[in-house]
Amino acid sequence: MSATGGAHRDRLAAAAASAAAAGIDTLLITPGADLRYLVGYDALPLERLTCLVVPAGGPATLVVPRLELGAASASGAGEVVTVITHEETDDAFALAARHASEALGREPRTVGVSDRMWAEQVLRFRSILPGAEQRTAGEVLRPLRLRKRPDEIDALRGAAQAIDRVHARMGEWLRPGRTESTVGRDIADAIIAEGHAAVNFVIVGSGPNGASPHHHTAERVIEVGDPVVVDIGGTMPDGYCSDCTRTYVAGGKAPSDFAEYYQVLLAAQKSSCEVVRPGVTSHSVDAAAREVIADAGYGELFIHRTGHGIGLEEHEEPYIVAGSEVVLEPGMCFSIEPGIYASGRHGARIEDIVVVTEDGVERLDTIDRELAVLSG
């Protein structure tokens, strides 16, 4: 399912109101997750300017190159904003600036530019609107995107279910005697077959490679009894992302030291999920997992933060990290993915996407977390 025109109208109105409250006259939004969030248009980032102009008080305008009009219209953006085109010989930045000024009745004194706008575009806007202070649009959009509405949570739940279906089929591919990259290609095909529009990453870390959290795939042949970290994710047709890790044993018997710390990790991941509710800090969600792992003597082997937010981007706010004072609120969605990495030998990670509910937490990934021995 994808967001309706109604949802986009609400988001645009909220963005305009927040911009006004923040003292930003106009938001200038170029292609990326912010643009998709506001009007549903997954625009190509091109050297030709595509820019959504959102005045704090007036109606928004989408400026697109004429040759992109078809794509912009197909996205449904035209149902919520006026779309205007520029020709190859027009100054598109001047056109966008003129629309910003017309909507305000004066030149904007403060503009919020997309956090991911290209530097050359930021500088063009600076020279065309020399009187306008530039701030980041994220000041306004981050708090909105941070708290997912029910339609977004449904979309993330659909993404989680799709990636869980891929994990459920792991025994079809993950076997001793196959290389990580062969297994990875099969997984990538399944990510698409189970409903994603794009594969974002496939990590298959067998044996010692499992001890490197961002290992992708290599030509290493998976051996009998190898622990294998499988961390996979994709983007659904509606733009929302999945991200789920399970650790498997490929046939045979797992090394005993691995089997021991896997149980610690399982308890840590559960403990971290259980503290999630409105009002707690993201620091304490991280601390809950870290404490279980440290108490069991593996603290030095948990070498990254516990999680990251997810939505239209695979990594976004809130970050679940020591020292973070972000206070959880209903609608926040993020990963809980502690890991234990025994350098040179093997590693393990367990990752679920969770959403903060009115009084607790819902895990969107629900596939079994017990250590699974896949016998091929």
Instruction: List residues near Zn ion by CB under 5 A.
Output: 231, 243, 245, 335, 351
Question: How far is residue 321 CA from its own chain's centroid?
Answer: 16
Provide the minimum distance between the beta carbon of 153 and Zn ion in the complex, in angstroms, as a whole number: 17
Q: How far apart are CA 249 and CA 95, in angstroms?
A: 59
Provide the minimum distance between the beta carbon of 356 and Zn ion in the complex, in angstroms, as a whole number: 17
Single-letter amino acid, residue 263: Q
* In the block, residue with structure tokens 């294998």: 228
> What six digits make up the tokens of 252?
């045979």
Q: Which of 317, 337, 336, 335 is nearest to 327 (CA)?
A: 317
For Zn ion, the closer CB: 152 or 231: 231
For Zn ion, the closer CB: 101 or 306: 306
For Zn ion, the closer CB: 134 or 212: 212
3-state secondary structure of 327: strand
Q: How far apart are CA 18 and CA 4, in angstroms?
A: 21
Q: Which of 54, 39, 45 is nearest to 5 (CA)?
A: 39
Provide the minimum distance between the beta carbon of 351 and Zn ion in the complex, in angstroms, as a whole number: 5
> What six digits make up the tokens of 181?
């990259």
Single-letter amino acid, residue 276: V
For Zn ion, the closer CB: 245 or 272: 245
* In the block, residue with structure tokens 């089997």: 259
Q: How far apart are CA 236 and CA 50, in angstroms?
A: 23
Q: How far apart are CA 198 and CA 209, in angstroms?
A: 25
For Zn ion, the closer CB: 54 or 293: 293
For Zn ion, the closer CB: 29 or 289: 289
> What six digits make up the tokens of 80?
């919520």
For Zn ion, the closer CB: 101 or 235: 235
Provide the minimum distance between the beta carbon of 308 and Zn ion in the complex, in angstroms, as a whole number: 6
Going 80 to 81 to 85 to 86, the CA torsion angle's sign is negative
For Zn ion, the closer CB: 30 or 247: 247
Provide the minimum distance between the beta carbon of 231 and Zn ion in the complex, in angstroms, as a whole number: 4
Provide the minimum distance between the beta carbon of 326 and Zn ion in the complex, in angstroms, as a whole number: 17
Q: How far apart are CA 266 and CA 120, in angstroms?
A: 47
Provide the minimum distance between the beta carbon of 243 and Zn ion in the complex, in angstroms, as a whole number: 4
> What six digits make up the tokens of 291?
């404490």
Q: How far apart are CA 188 and CA 233, in angstroms?
A: 9
Q: How far apart are CA 127 and CA 334, in angstroms?
A: 39
Q: Are 149 and 329 in contact (CB under 8 A)?
A: no
Provide the minimum distance between the beta carbon of 310 and Zn ion in the complex, in angstroms, as a whole number: 7
Provide the minimum distance between the beta carbon of 311 and Zn ion in the complex, in angstroms, as a whole number: 12
For Zn ion, the closer CB: 27 or 333: 333
> What six digits make up the tokens of 162?
């799709």
